[in-house]
């Protein structure tokens, strides 16, 4: 079947940072299906990355039929605007995918600006109902295409009893609040002295150094292990070693890391911010707690450790949810959308 060429505009930085964005997963999946994809940009510097995006959109204009652009808030919104303006001049249709729990606040601050960008797209997608509802006034036709995981790469182990082996996988950045996980471990160890925490992630803003300092202040010693980033294919083995997954973020949408933990059958304890309650149902496939509250999160962890029936239920239902987010049905939706946009151009 004839497939249009697709230019993907986003942060393809895993080769330099070890942190893999969802757009990289999507392009890999499409490549595996025989699509011709172009990617920009892998440049580390923000200015260099923006220039590379604009340059690629122009110089490769004969090699793609449709473009896909990731849209975030803040400064990242600027390069989305600039790339879309260039694509419009080239008469290239494009699809926008909305990301980030902070995008609704940005849209409220800049309603005309965001509406103008969203109206210019052939289609707008979001990985969660949260952004659809929050951005209804500026993006009323947004379509939900959920984040996905390759379910077969995440072996399931049913946690019929959860030990206090905690795992945290995210970038070390203030918005993800890694210090909260360390404070939580200190509290949990008062009831469960054998509790351990493994934290995995690349440093983004100096939070990794602050995490080490906090661990020394709390004298956590060998109970805390910090791993500064791993290849994507090693994530399942790290998840396998834990029983309870912590998501401590202050702002979020639909994190793939939580889906990965669910796929492996870990019991998820997460803050209830942004789009998280649209993914995690309290006491059904995870436990929701208030952000920035170490005592509440520690209490939730103790519940899971002390109640084997709860752990059994959370583990099983988490896996069931993850299977519904497998790449097979999600990728089919992406293929259909990209073909439709290309054909209607």
- Assess contact for 158 and 189: CB atoms under 8 A: no
* Nearest to 280, CA basis, from 254, 313, 308: 254
- Cα separation, 163 vs 165, whole angstroms: 5
- Looking at residue 345, what is its pLDDT? 59
- Looking at residue 298, what is its pLDDT? 98
Return the half-sphere exposure (C-beta side, CA atoms, 13 A cut-off) of residue 334: 27
For residue 18, is pLDDT > 70?
no
- Looking at residue 1, what is its pLDDT? 55
CA-only gyration radius of the chain, Å: 21
With 0.85 as the threshold, say if the pTM is over it: yes
Q: Which residue has the tokens 């309290």?
A: 282
Going by C-beta distance under 8 Å and a sequence separation of 6 or more, which residues neighbour residue 119?
none
Task: Give the pLDDT confidence of 238-268 residue by residue, as tens digits.
Answer: 999 999 999 999 999 889 999 999 999 999 9
For residue 177, is pLDDT > 80?
yes
Domains and CATH numbers, the chain: 6-147+326-343 (3.40.50.2000), 151-323 (3.40.50.2000)
For residue 99, is pLDDT > 60?
yes
Q: What band does 21 get if pLDDT is binned at 50, 70 and 90? A: confident
Task: Give the pLDDT confidence of 136-146 residue by residue, as tens digits.
Answer: 999 999 999 99
């Amino acid at each position: 079947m004839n497939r249009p060429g697709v230019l993907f505009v986003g942060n393809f930085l895993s080769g330099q940072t070890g942190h893999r964005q969802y757009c990289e997963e999507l392009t890999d999946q499409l490549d595996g299906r025989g699509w011709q994809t172009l990617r920009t940009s892998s440049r580390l510097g923000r200015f260099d990355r923006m220039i590379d995006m604009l340059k690629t959109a122009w110089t490769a204009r004969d090699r793609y039929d449709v473009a896909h652009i990731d849209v975030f808030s803040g400064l990242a919104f600027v390069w989305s605007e600039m790339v879309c303006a260039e694509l419009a001049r080239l008469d290239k249709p494009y699809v926008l995918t909305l990301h980030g729990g902070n995008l609704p606040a940005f849209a409220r601050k800049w309603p005309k600006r965001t509406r103008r960008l969203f109206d210019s797209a052939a289609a707008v997608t979001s990985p969660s109902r949260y952004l659809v509802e929050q951005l209804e006034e500026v993006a009323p036709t947004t379509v939900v295409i959920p984040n996905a995981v390759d379910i077969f790469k995440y072996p399931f182990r049913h946690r019929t009893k959860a030990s206090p082996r905690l795992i945290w996988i995210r970038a070390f950045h203030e918005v993800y609040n890694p210090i909260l996980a360390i404070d939580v471990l200190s509290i949990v160890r008062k009831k469960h002295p054998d509790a351990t925490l493994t934290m995995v992630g690349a440093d983004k803003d100096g939070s990794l150094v602050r995490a080490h300092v906090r661990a020394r202040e709390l004298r956590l010693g060998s109970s805390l292990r910090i791993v500064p980033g791993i290849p994507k294919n090693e994530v399942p083995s790290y998840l396998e070693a834990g029983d309870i997954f912590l998501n401590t973020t202050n702002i979020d949408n639909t994190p793939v890391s939580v889906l990965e933990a669910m796929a492996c059958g870990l019991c998820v304890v997460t803050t209830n911010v942004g789009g998280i309650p649209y993914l995690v149902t309290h006491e059904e496939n995870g436990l929701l707690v208030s952000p920035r509250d170490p005592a509440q999160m520690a209490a939730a962890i103790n519940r899971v450790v002390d109640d084997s029936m709860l752990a059994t239920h959370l583990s099983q239902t988490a896996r069931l949810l993850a299977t519904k987010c497998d790449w097979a049905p999600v990728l089919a939706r992406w293929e259909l959308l990209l073909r439709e946009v290309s054909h209607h151009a």
